């Protein structure tokens, strides 16, 4: 019996649990071989495809202590840190980001993002839309995430690579996870109108602990064709679309040597693993994941095998100063690791010749208030935030938009969140002006709303 167990046991609408979905039938072999072992029995050739790595900063990062410092503002606005010059003349970042400052010709920053709601949830970053509440007027089936649309339109990557993977660490606060769970709302916008076949394959939940193929030895396995014939027989016996969709994900791993190797960081050069560094834990009170650069490395390994969309939650950024310390303390604790981890990821992609194939976006659900609160922190601020975007169709070294002297609202070139999504879709070859997907009522839906277009200042 091949069972891929995870830590999630939530029920779907047909009362089957995720564990039940992942049990994919007897293969009738001997004993004791892990899935990684069986995959290594038949090598697969490597290939490249266009991909997106979306790094989600759970809780909403501060724009002041990162990419939009305001050194001439009063201290209660500018905060404790000085700006530092970057490689691009006239552009400054916070002094705690020296590595990114020295390489900002390799990426661009949007300082004037708009269109987010004041909601503590990943859904806005993963879908580009608000959801879960009556006023959001979600279509029949709910809004799908970016990766689900990519999975539906483009399908698996080369050599059967899964199209959509969530490589986030485990976390306590459910709306931070890639599950369409909302902040203070009962409705769950998951999987959206693309359907269960296009949910992300969650590495931490579904693979790490129990991905073991019991009862197989290499001698009894024989050649790949025999295994594939048995898999076809299992597939033919499936009785529901829901089970089939999860089986397809399991089969995708089972039949892809590259995927299995990508998931095993022990296959990575130890020097590269050391370069990314060890995870930095976050206070459990945040309910957020650690700042784990090893998960960013995992994302790089996945896109290298052909995964089209990888999401990674990275750290705790809800810096009100009601947890762990003031924003000065939190910035000193977490920003140097953020600076190192993101710069290493971008450098690694470039050195491997992947910058043109892989687009990276780094953002949270909103920014932080211009004025530091009485506790020494910054509160939620949905009116604008700063976003890092690199690779693919995006030119490096550009700064788009400008906020006012207090860093609170855009005064030049506000960039809507769905313009960012249009840019990512264009990178993957999806035309936002022509591609339409029917919702569950059969109404065709464009990839973005209100005729939003790719950001020309970034791609021209």
Q: How far is CA 418 from CA 14, 30, 193, 397, 453, in A?
A: 33, 52, 18, 22, 8
Rounded to the nearest 10 degrees, how much is the dihedral formed by the CA atoms of 449, 364, 336, 340? -40
175 falls within a domain? yes
- The domain total for the chain is 1
441 falls within a domain? yes
Q: Are 30 and 282 in contact (CB under 8 A)?
A: no
Range scoring the smallest mean pLDDT among 28-42, 348-362, 430-444: 28-42
Task: Phi first, then psi: give them for residue 56, nearest 5 degrees.
Answer: -100, 120
* Three-class secondary structure of residue 94 per DSSP: strand
Smallest CA-to-CA distance from 53 within 301, 309, 265, 387 is with 309
148 falls within a domain? yes
Q: pLDDT band for position 289 (50/70/90)?
A: very high
What pLDDT sits at residue 215? 43
Q: What is the pLDDT of residues 191-243, one digit of tens each?
A: 899 998 899 988 886 444 434 344 443 344 444 455 555 545 545 554 444 54
DSSP element (H, E) containing 100: helix 98-101
Q: What is the pLDDT of residues 274-285, one digit of tens each?
A: 999 999 999 999
123 falls within a domain? yes
Length of the chain: 460
Answer yes or no: is pLDDT of 60 > 60: yes
Smallest CA-to-CA distance from 27 within 230, 171, 229, 222 is with 230
State the CATH number of the domain containing residue 92.
Answer: 3.40.720
Range scoring the smallest mean pLDDT among 87-96, 138-147, 249-258, 398-407: 249-258
What is the extent of the structural domain holding 186? 49-207+257-459
Q: What is the pLDDT of residues 370-426, one digit of tens each?
A: 999 999 999 999 999 999 999 999 999 999 999 999 999 999 999 999 999 999 999
39 or 165, which is more confident: 165
15 falls within a domain? no
* Three-class secondary structure of residue 23 per DSSP: strand
Q: In percent, how much of the chain has pLDDT > 90? A: 72
43 falls within a domain? no
110 falls within a domain? yes
Q: What is the pLDDT of residues 246-256, one digit of tens each?
A: 555 655 565 56
What pLDDT sits at residue 263? 84
Q: What is the mean pLDDT of the chain?
A: 85
Rounded to the nearest 10 degrees, how much is the dihedral formed by the CA atoms of 331, 335, 336, 342? 180
**pTM of the complete model:** 0.85
251 falls within a domain? no
């Amino acid at each position: 019996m091949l069972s891929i167990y995870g830590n999630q046991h939530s029920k779907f609408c047909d009362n089957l649990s995720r564990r039940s979905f992942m049990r994919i039938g007897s293969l009738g072999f001997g004993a004791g071989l892990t899935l990684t072992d069986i995959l290594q029995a038949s090598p697969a050739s490597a290939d490249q495809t266009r991909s997106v790595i979306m790094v989600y900063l759970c809780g909403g990062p501060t724009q002041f202590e990162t990419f939009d410092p305001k050194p001439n503002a009063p201290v209660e606005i500018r905060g404790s840190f000085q700006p530092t010059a970057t490689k691009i003349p006239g552009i400054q970042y916070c002094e705690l980001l020296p590595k990114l400052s020295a390489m900002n010709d390799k990426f661009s920053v949007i300082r004037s993002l708009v269109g987010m709601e004041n909601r503590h949830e990943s859904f806005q970053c993963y879908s580009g839309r608000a959801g879960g509440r009556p006023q959001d007027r979600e279509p029949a089936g709910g809004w799908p995430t970016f990766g689900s649309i990519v999975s539906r339109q483009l399908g698996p990557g080369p050599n059967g690579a899964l199209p959509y993977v969530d490589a986030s660490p485990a976390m306590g606060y459910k709306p931070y996870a890639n599950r369409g769970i909302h902040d203070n709302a009962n409705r769950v916008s998951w999987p959206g109108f693309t359907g269960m076949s296009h949910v992300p394959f969650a590495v931490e939940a579904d693979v790490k602990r129990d991905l073991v193929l019991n009862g197989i030895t290499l001698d009894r396995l024989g050649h790949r064709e025999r295994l594939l014939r048995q898999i076809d027989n299992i597939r033919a016996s499936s009785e529901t679309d829901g089970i089939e969709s999860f089986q397809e994900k399991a089969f995708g791993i089972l039949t892809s040597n590259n995927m299995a190797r990508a998931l095993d960081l022990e296959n990575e050069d130890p020097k590269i693993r050391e370069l990314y560094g060890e995870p930095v834990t976050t206070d459990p009170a945040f309910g957020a994941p650690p700042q784990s650069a090893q998960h960013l490395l995992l994302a790089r390994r996945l896109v290298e095998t052909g995964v089209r969309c990888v999401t990674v939650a990275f750290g705790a950024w809800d810096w009100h100063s009601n947890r762990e310390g003031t924003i000065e303390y939190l910035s000193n604790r977490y920003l140097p690791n953020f600076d190192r981890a993101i710069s290493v990821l971008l450098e690694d992609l470039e050195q491997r010749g992947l910058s043109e194939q892989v687009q990276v976006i780094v953002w949270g659900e909103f920014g932080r208030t211009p004025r530091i609160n009485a506790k020494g922190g910054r509160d939620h601020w949905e009116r604008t935030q700063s976003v890092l975007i690199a690779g693919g169709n995006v030119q490096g070294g550009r700064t788009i938009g400008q906020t006012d002297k207090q860093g609170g609202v855009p005064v030049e070139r506000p960039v809507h969140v769905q313009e960012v999504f249009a840019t990512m879709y264009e990178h993957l070859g999806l035309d936002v002006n022509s591609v339409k997907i029917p919702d569950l009522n059969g109404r065709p839906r464009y990839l973005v709303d209100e005729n939003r277009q790719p950001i020309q200042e970034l791609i021209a």
